[in-house]
């Protein structure tokens, strides 16, 4: 893979990823705190990209076998990227429609959020599959690292730009801000997709996609106790980290009276913390080990959530902002450590299959975390009538989940996993051929 193709893949990845930022850093706050919509409703809508992730399996396999216009990946990258950008742009319009006409708005919101989620999934599996098609194993790792780092940097810049555009908040400025993100996303996707892939008729090898068969993944987990335990660990970690995705900005608005611009900036503050520990965390993991890194990251994240609860009780917005930065630091260290450990929890004969299993845990954990936070908040708010108790219940659940993950991680061993995997692999592969 040459530098031009890598730069284009990075542009596409950034173009698709930034469509998430205005929805999860700004629109969630407007819908929950300003429009007074049920948190569960907003959480389900925001979780749709994760709930639609099985689309990746179908589309990945289809694009392997059926090129369109003599290309396997490019048409789906283009279609998915443009759908993600356009869907993200219209989410703010259907939110206002939902606020004024619930039934009509609900139908429109489901369609638009589904289009946004389908676009993200279609583009993601296609450009990640193209990385697999065009690079060797070492090149893939380098490409994904560069793409992921660029995505975090773009998230920081996008959230900061949103907060500047929304300094004077109105419906019109919100539409304009979403339109600006749409424009940048479309340009990145179009430029990134231009002549990025060789024609299907010129290929000598059959392409393979980055998605895996979920039924085979379930069979794999059923036969390996260590794999099941690690899958459960990842699920708990991801639920505990991502349950706050929908409620963090509304908490800033409700508990601390922060403006839309101020809460939109929280994602950039969190992103800076993530970015720092993504870089420094590699050195930490090399010196102290992956388990130690994951556990320290979990403890730091738990302290951050406790500090966020305290900020709400004390009415201290500065403490809240510092806690969000600390949340990024802990989350970044956990990400580096768990990703490194995840790569160890494979065997050479079935690396893709096990990575597929951990990917299923990733999507499921984020979806469950989002939806669970909405249900938990609405339940406690209904019982008490106090929004601070509702938000604190979500953050408290995350603290408990992180501590539970640290306890569970103690019983997971790479050596035991590999022994069990070697013994059971032939059984799994024979089941796959049935």
Question: Long-range contacts for 291-294 (Cβ within 8 Å, ≥24 apart)?
Answer: 291/337, 291/341, 291/409, 292/337, 293/333, 293/334, 293/336, 293/337, 293/340, 294/333, 294/334, 294/337, 294/338, 294/341, 294/409
Look at 375 and 203; give whichever has higher pLDDT: 375
CA–CA gap between residue 128 and residue 9 (Å, rounded)? 9
Tens of pLDDT along 379-410?
999 999 999 999 999 999 999 999 999 999 99
Lowest mean pLDDT among 215-224, 241-250, 311-320, 389-398: 215-224
Mean pLDDT, residues 179-204 taken together = 87
Q: For 21-36, b where at least 16 C-beta lie within 10 A, e where not — what string?
A: bbbbbbbbbbbbbeee
CA–CA gap between residue 339 and residue 336 (Å, rounded)? 5
Q: Which residue has the tokens 């994240």?
A: 301
Task: Provide the Cα torsion 343, 348, 353, 354; round to 10°.
Answer: -30
Lookup: tokens for 211: 């998605």
The per-residue pLDDT for 433 is 47
Give the CB-side neighbour count of residue 64, counting CA atoms within 13 A. 19
Lowest mean pLDDT among 51-65, 88-102, 115-129: 51-65
Q: Which residue has the tokens 């004969």?
A: 349
Mean pLDDT, residues 279-295 taken together = 87
The answer to whether residue 208 scores a pLDDT higher than 70 is: no
In the chain the domains, ranked by start, together with CATH numbers, are 1-194 (1.20.1250.20), 212-434 (1.20.1250.20)
The per-residue pLDDT for 111 is 96
Please name the residue ranges forming H helices in 18-136. Answer: 21-22, 28-29, 39-51, 55-65, 74-100, 102-134
CA–CA gap between residue 367 and residue 242 (Å, rounded)? 8
Res. 430 pLDDT band, cuts 50 70 90: low
Q: pTM of the predicted model, to two decimals?
A: 0.89
The answer to whether residue 374 scores a pLDDT higher than 90 is: yes
Answer for the pair 197, 12: CB distance below 8 angstroms, yes or no.
no
Average pLDDT in the chain: 87
């Amino acid at each position: 893979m040459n530098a031009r193709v890598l730069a284009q893949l990075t542009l596409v990845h950034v173009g698709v990823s930034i469509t998430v930022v205005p929805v999860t850093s700004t629109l969630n706050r407007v819908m929950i705190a300003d429009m007074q919509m049920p948190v569960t409703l907003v959480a389900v809508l925001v979780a749709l990209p994760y709930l639609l992730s099985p689309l990746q399996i179908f589309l990945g396999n289809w694009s392997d076998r059926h090129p369109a216009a003599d290309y396997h990946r490019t048409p789906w990258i283009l279609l998915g990227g443009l759908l993600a950008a356009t869907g993200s742009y219209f989410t703010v319009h259907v939110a206002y429609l939902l606020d004024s006409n619930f039934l009509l708005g609900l139908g429109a919101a489901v369609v638009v959020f589904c289009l946004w989620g389908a676009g993200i999934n279609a583009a993601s599996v296609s450009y990640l599959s193209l990385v697999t098609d065009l690079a060797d194993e070492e090149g893939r790792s380098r490409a994904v690292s560069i793409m992921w780092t660029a995505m975090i940097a773009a998230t920081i810049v996008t959230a900061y730009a949103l907060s500047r555009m929304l300094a004077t908040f109105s419906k019109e400025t919100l539409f304009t801000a979403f339109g600006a993100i749409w424009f940048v996303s479309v340009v990145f996707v179009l430029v990134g997709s231009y002549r990025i892939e060789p024609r299907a008729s010129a290929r000598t090898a059959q392409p393979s996609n980055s998605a895996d068969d979920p039924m085979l993944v379930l069979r794999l987990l059923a036969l390996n106790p260590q794999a099941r335990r690690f899958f459960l660990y990842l699920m708990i970690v991801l639920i505990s980290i991502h349950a706050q995705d929908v409620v963090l900005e509304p908490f800033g608005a409700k508990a601390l009276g922060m403006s839309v611009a101020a809460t939109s900036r929280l994602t950039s503050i969190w992103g800076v913390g993530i970015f720092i520990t993504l870089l420094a965390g590699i050195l930490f993991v090399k010196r102290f080990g992956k388990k130690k890194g994951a556990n320290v990251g979990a403890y730091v994240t738990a302290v951050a959530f406790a500090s966020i609860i305290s900020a709400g009780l004390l009415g201290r917005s500065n403490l809240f902002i510092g806690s969000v930065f600390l949340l990024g630091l802990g989350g970044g260290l956990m990400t580096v450590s768990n990703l490194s450990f995840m790569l160890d929890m494979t065997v050479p004969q079935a690396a893709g299959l096990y990575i597929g299993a951990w990917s299923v845990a990733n999507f499921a954990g984020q979806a469950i975390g989002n939806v669970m936070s909405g249900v938990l908040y609405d339940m406690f708010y209904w019982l008490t009538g106090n929004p601070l108790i509702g938000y604190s219940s979500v953050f408290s659940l995350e603290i408990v989940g992180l501590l539970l993950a640290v306890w569970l991680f103690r019983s997971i061993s790479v050596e035991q996993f590999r022994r069990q995997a070697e013994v059971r692999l032939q059984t799994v592969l024979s089941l796959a051929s049935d």
